[in-house]
Structure 1
Amino acid sequence: MISTSESASETAPESAPESASETTRDTTRLTRFLDRVERVGNRLPHPFLLFWLLFCVVAVASAIMAAADVSALDPATGEPSAVRNALSVDAVRELMLGAEESFLTFGPLGTMLIIMFGLAVADRSGMLEALARHALGRVHPRYAVFTVCLAGALSKFLSYSAYVILIPLAALVFKAVGRSPMLGMIVGFLSINAAGDANPFIAPGDVVFARIATEAAQLVDPDTVVRATDNTYFTTVSALLLAIVLTLVTEKVLARREHELVPDSGATGPTTGPTAESGSEAVPEETELRALRRTGVVAAAFLGLLVVGMIPAGSPLRGPNGAILDSTLFNGIALALSLFFLVIGAVYAHGTGRLTNSSDLPRFMADGVRSIAPLLVLFFAVSQFLALFEWTSISTVVAVRGAEVLEGLNAPIFVVLMLLIAAIAVLNLLITSGTALWALLAPVIIPMTMLIGANPATVMAVYRIADSCTNSITPMSATFVLTVGYLQTYQKKAGIGTLVSFTLPAAVAMMAAWTALFAAWYALGLPLGPGAPVH
């Protein structure tokens, strides 16, 4: 790369060196800024302590706000929602008695454990490493980035499972092509967040979003129906755009600091590959390829059985009344994926001689759980903070008051939509559950914008833009904390600042590009989905 630059400079016009120098200065300035972000962020307490500090801050704030009778009308119920004092005697009793339930019902916890049971078998057998090595060993690093980005764009069906599966796999992909596995984790995290709202497929979350939007729209027009497909055209194009933008940001900006993402000596990441007890000695390439081919056949058969199982209208894999999206399979995808990885991992291990008896499987599973033990500790702190934040109703008040400010602007619809993107993005830093925030905001912003001529499907598209990218830069997000924990399995000093300094440029770029795409879409009057005009 250096020699190419030198050669180019010799034949370029005289102004080229100045331009290159300016670009270098701008890049250096940006790098220094991101380094400062990382240093400041990493001076914050460990995420475990940070969430307990936030717990105390919210508890004190709730006492002050409750004493001032702060409240808001919850649009979801039509009832006033007042801030509750978390420092009262009854509150302390209730929160202490509910601590166990808050932890055990914390969304990512069960998903992560169930997925890890199967994923650990696939990893400890050596299958994931072999697959990444053979499939991507000769791929140029910049194509590896785009591959991970596309994988994230197709991960919408997996919900929380996507983070548990794709982030470690992204690390293996980057490692296989000679790049930092930590950067791979960060790119995987960013791509999954973008995929949450920009995806070519219809997932259960789309159905939930559409139902909430329909109920909100019918407050104004009882005949209005918002469908899960109403944003399909827009989200399909958005997925490709965000994958391209993330690839460019990774190569042009994040890669300049990749040298800072060096794993500690002896660090092996969240999973450690085949154990000595299972025969970690090298497997002949011919045996490895034969085992991979056999595993591929079994994987195809497993997926084929699931497809066949979904065909009968009365199948137990379907939902009530034969529903496909709102089905047992999709709602229980974590268990299905765990079984999938367990089966193919066992087949590969048997083919390579690493599975010698039935006791190996539970040992592989236990090893996988041990590797994520630090994350379980983090999740306890996060679950208690989020439970308190929800219990106090501060989240409801913040969301409703923000929507009320927008309602009083009386601005042109396009200006209102742009302001909604900015306001919701800020709110999303505090309330990171997309469905929860949409349930709070939709009954206010959809009727408000319908009264000035907006299509509810357009408002839903705007919400998707604001809901997605800021999840990558807020420690309030459980998946952000999960990713910090993953990074620390490679580098102990990695912290909140490390992740923010790498995700901030990508989040800003994706937000800007996605907003620009919507502005162009709106100006051209293109339909957002089948039968869903943008105006």
Structure 2
Amino acid sequence: MTTQDSSSKAADGRRLPRIVRAMGVIERAGNALPHPFWLFWLLSAILAVVSAVLAGLGVSVVSPSDGETVAVRSLISGDGLAMAVSTMIDNFASFPPMATIVVVIMGVAVAERSGFLAALMRVSVSRVPASWVVFAVAFAGTAAHVASAAAYIILVPLGGLAFRAVGRSPILGVVVAYTSIASGYDASPIPTPNDAIFAGITTAAAQIIDPDAYVSPVSNWFFNIASSLVLAAVITLVTRFVLSKRPDLDPDPDAELDDIATLRLSPRERSALRLAGAALLVATVVLVALVLPESSPLRGEDGSIVESPLLDGIATVVAFLFGTVGIVYGVRTGTITKAADVPKLMVEGLKQMAPVLVLFFAIAQFLAYFDWTHVGDVLSVRAAELLETTGLPIIVVFLLVLVLLTLVNVMVTSGSAMWSIAAPVLVPMLMLVDVPAETTQALFRIADSGSTAITPMSPYFIMALGFLQRYRKNAGIGTLVSYTLPLALAMTTAWTLLFLAWWVLGIPLGPGAPVR
């Protein structure tokens, strides 16, 4: 890859475009940040100092949950040290997303490692008319997040192939596929591992105000489905009316082009996909049949579905459905030949989660310290009082939060890390002005996604640049940003407008999740 992102001048002495210089500044600043694991320990140290100062000043607030006075406790104290040492294991074990994400990943891993998800992506972008290829690749990008990081590896090169197969620029295909995944990452119409992570963190933050609060992994599902369709439509329009007009869409004459035939599925793969689809249909019908009776054990009190064992165990349901289609597909294609292969695939999937689990250990400690010191209570109550005093319209507050988080996302591209920092303050603060936790989480999704496609701090940005350089060897960071920036801006704007319309109309964000 070219390295013209590190200075103000190119190798030939010409001054680089402003956007390239800005990306270089962001890259250098981001590289100066510690690894997220150490970042949370650093935040814990800062919290310890802040809690000691506030405790020394006797800072307290009245808890809105029970009317009791809550005083800040110092982490730098005997009690604080005893708490930190004695609860470390429990903090990790009881971290809300921990068990949920492990269960979901085991099911998704079977679907991914058996080849099912890759085949599904290939068929979704290869069997569409030329006029629909942009929308197909864009929508597949939003849905591909169920495969987590594998979405980039599978779909970005497929995007280039799909565009070339219909006579369009493969460079555009790479850009559309990458941007739809990166800047639409939290808009998947299918429940993903990220939904489980965010829901767990949001639940822990909401319990600062309401000890009985619970946010399910499908609490934003309705909003996510609409978001994925809107974002795919926006990508289609911007690609047609802006990016397609660029004069630099032809690949290098000597570019090594992949064989378009790799898009096509073999007869066995097509047969396996049909069988997997049939298995998914049967499993869904059985599940619906079990839930339909009002006396069903999967329903809650008075036949409720919103508060029921079904939604409480939605992570298990998602894992089961993915595991089912993965097993059926794998048996038909031969990637699964014996029962012992299934747990092996699960183990391979969990290996990919090891870095996340290590990060969870640090996050769990920070959140536990944050809760114990009551610094979060003070910040939330004081911020809510400030909002009421200033009289800012809630929509203005939403926009301010969105801008702040979007800027942070340019530097901290890990969604779980950023939400772990922001949720303990934003969720309680907005709950105190009658904004449900699920709504704050939906707002965060926009900020966590929109700027991801333009920041070189994302490892997948560099990966996408590598795919782009297959078609244009001299492409650099500025080249990719110049392609993704119009898409990212349009997607963020449209997604924000959708959120505001959702709020004004009062449409539920998901099952049992009112927007206001």
| Fold match (TM-score > 0.5) | yes
Q: In the alignment, residue 138 of structure 2 is paired with which amino acid?
A: F
Distance of 1:329 and 1:439 partners within structure 2: 25
Distance (whole Å) between structure 2 residues aligned to residue 462 and residue 373 of structure 1: 30
Between the aligned partners of 1:84 and 1:242, the Cα distance in structure 2 is 45
Alignment partner, residue 228 of structure 1 = none
1:440 aligns with 2:394: no
Equivalent residues in 2 for 1:126-165 (5 A)? 126-137=115-126, 142-148=134-140, 151=143, 165=147
Q: Residues of 1 paired with 2:313 and 2:115: CA distance?
A: 27
Q: Which residue of 1 aligns with 2:447?
A: 470
State whether structure 2 residue 271 is matched by structure 1 residue 290: yes
| From 334, 337, 344, the counterpart of 1:356 | 337
Counterpart for residue 319 of structure 2: 338
CA contact (8 A) 1:58 1:389 kept: yes
Equivalence for 2:414: none
Quote the residue 1:172 is aligned against. 154
Cα separation, partners in 2 of 1:186 and 1:389, compared to 1, 3 Å: farther
> Quick one: distance in 1 between partners of 2:85 and 2:227?
44
Q: Secondary structure at the match of 1:445?
A: coil
CA gap 1:236/1:164 in 2 versus in 1, 3 angstroms: closer
Q: Deviations over 1:334-383 (max 9, x none)?
A: 11121222222111221122322222122222222122222221221122
Output the amino acid matched with 1:146.
A
Map residues 524-535 of structure 1 onto 2, 5 A cutoff: 527-529=505-507
Distance 1:284 1:508 in 2: 35
C-alpha change, 1:124 and 1:418, in structure 2 (3 Å) is closer
Work out the CA distance in 2 between the residues paired with 1:87 and 1:133: 55
CA contact (8 A) 2:141 2:151 kept: no
Cα gap change, 1:117 to 1:512, in 2 (>3 Å): closer
From the superposition, tell whether residues 134 and 295 of structure 1 become closer, same or farther in structure 2 (CA, over 3 Å).
Answer: same
Does the 8 Å CA contact 1:402/1:423 hold for their aligned counterparts? no
Q: Deviations over 1:158-190 (max 9, x none)?
A: xxxxx6645544653334223899996774464
**1:381 matches 2:362:** yes
Q: Kindly indicate whether the alpha-carbon contact (under 8 Å) linking 1:233 and 1:527 is maintained by their aligned counterparts in 2.
A: no
| Alpha-carbon distance change, 334 to 466 in structure 1, aligned in 2, over 3 angstroms | closer
Distance of 1:78 and 1:250 partners within structure 2: 54
2:18 corresponding residue in structure 1: 29
1:85 and 2:64 correspond: no
- Whether the 8 Å CA contact 2:115–2:330 is kept in 1: the answer is yes
Counterparts of 1:233 and 1:352 in 2: how far apart (Å)? Answer: 34
Q: Which amino acid aligns with 2:429?
A: L
Which amino acid in the other structure matches residue 176 of structure 1? L
1:22 is matched with which residue?
none
Retained in 1: the 8 A contact 2:327–2:342? yes
User: What is the deviation of 1:35?
Assistant: 3.6
Aligned partners of 2:95 and 2:287: how far apart in 1? Answer: 28
> What is the alpha-carbon distance in structure 2 between the residues aligned to residue 507 and residue 77 of structure 1?
43
Higher deviation after alignment, 180-189 or 105-114: 180-189
Q: Secondary structure at the match of 1:81?
A: strand
The verdict on how the C-alpha distance between 1:247 and 1:487 changes in structure 2, with shifts beyond 3 A counting, is same
Q: Please state if 1:49 is matched with 2:31.
A: no
Asked whether 1:305 is paired with 2:286, we answer yes
**Where in structure 2 are the equivalents of 1:226-305 lying within 5 Å?**
241-245=230-234, 285-305=266-286
Sort the Cα spacing of 1:291 and 1:128 in 2 relative to 1 into closer, same or farther, 3 A.
same
**2:313 and 2:180 mapped to 1: Cα distance?**
26
The amino acid that maps onto 2:433 is I
1:67-102 Cα distance to aligned partner (Å, 9 max, x none): 112222332332233222111111111122211122
Q: Cα deviations across residues 501-525 of structure 1 (Å, max 9, x unaligned)? A: 9999988765654565688899xxx
SS class of match (2:393): helix
Q: Give 1:111 shift.
A: 2.1
Following the alignment from structure 1 to structure 2, what is the Cα–Cα distance between the partners of residues 382 and 100?
13
Give the Cα–Cα distance (whole angstroms) in 2 for the partners of residues 33 and 119 of structure 1.
Answer: 38
Deviation at 1:305, TM superposition (A): 0.9
The verdict on how the C-alpha distance between 1:289 and 1:474 changes in structure 2, with shifts beyond 3 A counting, is closer
1:405 matched residue in structure 2: 386
Q: Aligned pair in 2 of structure 1 residues 169, 90: CA closer, same or farther (>3 Å)?
A: same
- Residues 6-46 of structure 1 show CA distances to partners (whole Å, capped at 9, x for unaligned) of xxxxxxxxxxxxxxxxxxxxx94334323421331122111
The alignment status of 1:191 with 2:184, answered yes or no, reads yes
Provide the C-alpha distance between the structure 2 equivalents of 1:247 and 1:107, rounded to a whole number of angstroms: 38
- Partner amino acid, structure 2, of 1:88: S
Separation of aligned partners in 1, 2:343 and 2:438: 45
Partner of 2:415: none
What residue identity is the alignment partner of 2:54? M
Question: How much has 1:238 moved relative to structure 2?
Answer: 6.5
The TM-score, its normalising length taken from structure 2, stands at 0.64
Question: How far apart are the structure 2 equivalents of 1:142 and 1:342?
Answer: 30
Tell me how far 1:300 sits from its aligned partner: 0.9
Q: 1:143 to 1:300 in 2, by over 3 A?
A: same
Structure 2 residues not aligned, in runs of 5+: 1-15, 162-172, 190-195, 211-219, 247-263, 409-417, 466-476, 509-514
Local SS of the residue matching 2:295: coil
Deviation at 1:463, TM superposition (A): 5.5
Q: SS of the residue aligned with 2:390?
A: coil
The Cα RMSD (Å) is: 4.9
Q: What's the counterpart of residue 480 of structure 1? A: none
Aligned equivalents of 2:311 and 2:501: distance in 1? 34
- TM-score normalised to the size of structure 1? 0.62
Q: Distance in 1 between matches of 2:226 and 2:120?
A: 30
* 1:100 corresponds to: 89
> In the alignment, is residue 371 of structure 1 matched against residue 352 of structure 2?
yes
Q: Which residue of 1 aligns with 2:252?
A: none
**% identical aligned pairs:** 34
Tell me how far apart the structure 1 counterparts of residues 351 and 221 of structure 2 sit (CA, whole Å). 41
Question: Which runs of 5 or more structure 1 residues have no equivalent in the other structure?
Answer: 1-26, 153-162, 197-202, 217-230, 257-282, 447-455, 476-482, 492-496
Post-superposition offset of 1:109: 2.1
**Structure 1 equivalent of residue 307 of structure 2:** 326
d(CA) in 2 for partners of 1:444, 1:194? 27
Matching residue of 1:40 = 29
